[in-house]
Amino acid sequence: MANEQLLQYEMKKKNDWTVWILKGRLDRTTGPAAGDDGTKLLDENSSVAVNLAELSYISSAGLRVILRLAKKAKADGKKFALCAPVGMVKEVLEEASMNVFVDIFDSEEELT
């Protein structure tokens, strides 16, 4: 991946959830690849949570990726959620009222 330094992933399991940890920036540069990878994750797992604790920046292109995945999850009958947003990312999600479209948990602990 060309943008490895801008956005990095880590994976883990938590209860029944596949937790996808995003580190770095989710924007126009990193968004398309992240969208593809997220789609794959949703194809292979029934519950995907995106951990945003180490995401430092999200742009509208990033929001679009999240919305796409949320829509896909809904269409496929899968669970999709965001968790642990902080700082600027938390503000942006709130500003955009993203909770209308996707479940947002304050921490990973709330994933049950």
On the 0-12 / 13-18 / 19+ scale of CB atoms within 10 A, 82 is: buried
**Binding of other proteins at residue 98 (CB under 8 A)?**
yes
- Give least dist CB 14 to other proteins, A: 27
The CA distance from 76 to 35, in Å, is 16
Q: Which of 14, 23, 64, 79 binds other proteins (CB under 8 A)?
A: 64
**Binding of other proteins at residue 109 (CB under 8 A)?**
no
Beta strands in the chain (DSSP E): 7-14, 17-26, 47-58, 79-83, 103-105
**Binding of other proteins at residue 71 (CB under 8 A)?**
yes
Q: Which of 3, 78, 96, 105 binds other proteins (CB under 8 A)?
A: 96
The CA distance from 112 to 3, in Å, is 32
Q: Which stretch binds other proteins (CB under 8 A): 14-22, 45-53, 62-70, 79-87?
A: 62-70
